[in-house]
Amino acid sequence: MFKPLQVLDEKNKILRNKAEDVVFPLSNEDLKLIKLMKKHLLYSQLEDKCEQYNLRPGMGLAFPQLGILKKIIVIVYEKNEGNFEEYVIINPHIISHSVEQIAAFEGEGCLSVSREVEGHVLRYARISVAGFNEQGKPLEIRARDELAIAMQHEIDHLNGILFFDKIDPNKPYFTEDEIRLI
């Protein structure tokens, strides 16, 4: 039986705290939660499950969004229709990035933010992220475009940053002449 996760709302002060590095091995509770996060994110992107469980669509979650200040992010990315890739990165950090910046054309959303937020968030078009998998083995992931945006968004959660913090109030929108909108 699937029970949707309780994602903290943006008003919760926990979301503004910095997460702590994770020490290995992971606890059974952390491993179970990672598994639930993967399922929640997958179901939120499948129309029938999304309706059945009344989920808001999302492709990423960070432990702080569940009230746990640990550096763990989970992303379920639909690479092409019906083909999903799962990413679990523990203690993630960006080790390199492109000069080129992009923004999500319609703006970003967040499972912790239940309101519409106007504006573009500038993100690197390509990044390399280093961290560890669930077994504590080092990993490095290269991401571009939507996946790169999602990883930067989730890593921000580990630092107490919400996406709308990065929208410039003096220039909330960019044109396609100024930046590549995806």
Active-site annotation, residues: 154
Q: Would you call 95 exposed, middle or buried from its count of C-beta atoms within 10 A (0-12, 13-18, 19+)?
A: exposed
Whether a cis peptide bond, with omega within 30° of 0, leads into 57 is no
Two structure tokens written together for 23: 């020490």
Q: Where are the alpha helices (DSSP H) in 21-144?
A: 28-45, 47-52
Report how far residue 81's alpha carbon sits from residue 33's, in angstroms, rounded to the nearest whole number: 26
Report the sign of the C-alpha dihedral through residues 122, 99, 16, 75, in that order. positive
Nearest to 160 by CA among 28, 12, 15, 43: 15
